[in-house]
Amino acid sequence: MSIRLGIIMDPIESIKFSKDSSLAMLQEAANRGWQLNYMQMEDLFLQDGVALAHIQALEVRDNPDNWFSLGEKSVQKMGDLDVILMRKDPPFDMEYIYSTYMLDAAERDGALIINRASSIRNANEKLFATEFPDCIPASVVTRRADTLREFLAKHDDIILKPLGEMGGASIFRVKQSDPNISVIIETLTKNESQYIMAQKFIPEISAGDKRILLIDGEPVPYALARIPAKGETRGNLAAGGRGEGVELSQRDYDICAQVGPVLRKLGLVFVGIDVIGDYLTEINSTSPTCIRELDTLYGLNISAQLMDAIEKKLKV
């Protein structure tokens, strides 16, 4: 049986061929003879309780100058697809949340959603980490300026970040001596009308913010340590960090042992957790990356592991 795979992603013509994890997944699926179908957020709609989409047949190629072609759009039931990869990048805003309700309907109609839409909706990438208090650094989620100032006074050196962004966007490192504390808090909280997260600064960021990939709760044995550029606090590759491969430490495995079974239970099949030093800082379930980098460094085929897990769930 040929598996019908759908993917919801950002414009495929805009991706970086050499780095894009979604493309790596699509190429592996194509190698297995799966039928590929392409959607963007604007293509999804709900009619009389049925999840539909303007879907295009997709072909992918291992050619950096010509890596895809698309067929004509046609309206189809999303539930008729065997599996749908939800790979739209944040920001995780209300539009994103609305799309997860449509994917709930597709799941009811028979499609396997990777990752499960209700769990993406409920497991905010910043907040979800707080469910593992033994793994995380000191942290607080609030929109009150006085609470943030108290947290800063206690820890002296902290990170402030919004709850719905990615790639290091709008992340600030703040010390008590910083003359811009007030304006940073006002900007991030939108004058105390929006929740943000504060975490104690972890000096081990100098050795990298490790991205660890888990497939159905099981970790890939290597991580990509994203090391900040000179003068930067953020290790995100999108913020100029450089990636170095590292083997997982015993602490990394201990964190995965706590997080992995919960991910599996929630239907979060492909997840990237971020670890700095001994601390879990985020759990990324929307569109985690770093497949290409780890495959290249260690001769892996992480997409094959993911497709194997999908086949197992489809029982084919």
Q: Which of 161, 200, 210, 292 is catalytic?
A: 161
Q: Which of 209, 252, 274, 293 is catalytic?
A: 274
Per-residue DSSP letter, 42: G
Query: Nearest to residue 282, comparing CAs of 161, 188, 190, 155?
Result: 161
The residue count of the chain comes to 316
Spatial CB neighbours of 205, under 8 Å, sequence gap ≥ 6: 228, 233, 235, 276, 277
Q: Which of 234, 236, 252, 293 is catalytic?
A: 234
Distance CA(129)–CA(285), nearest Å, equals: 11
Q: Which of 226, 236, 292, 293 is catalytic?
A: 226
Question: Would you call 126 a catalytic residue per the annotation?
Answer: yes
**Which residue type sits at 68?**
F
Strand partners, 83: 5, 112
Distance CA(24)–CA(62), nearest Å, equals: 9
Question: Would you call 180 a catalytic residue per the annotation?
Answer: no
Q: Which of 88, 115, 284, 293 is catalytic?
A: 284
Distance CA(227)–CA(218), nearest Å, equals: 24
Question: Would you call 282 a catalytic residue per the annotation?
Answer: yes
Question: Would you call 234 a catalytic residue per the annotation?
Answer: yes
Coil vs helix vs strand at 119: helix
Spatial CB neighbours of 163, under 8 Å, sequence gap ≥ 6: 92, 124, 125, 126, 127, 141, 195, 196, 197
4 touches 34 (CB < 8 A):
yes
Question: Would you call 95 a catalytic residue per the annotation?
Answer: no
Question: Would you call 161 a catalytic residue per the annotation?
Answer: yes
H or E, element range at 87: strand 83-87
Question: Would you call 251 a catalytic residue per the annotation?
Answer: no
Q: Which of 88, 116, 126, 292 is catalytic?
A: 126
Question: Would you call 211 a catalytic residue per the annotation?
Answer: yes
Q: Which of 211, 216, 252, 292 is catalytic?
A: 211
User: Which positions are catalytic?
Assistant: 126, 161, 211, 226, 234, 274, 282, 284
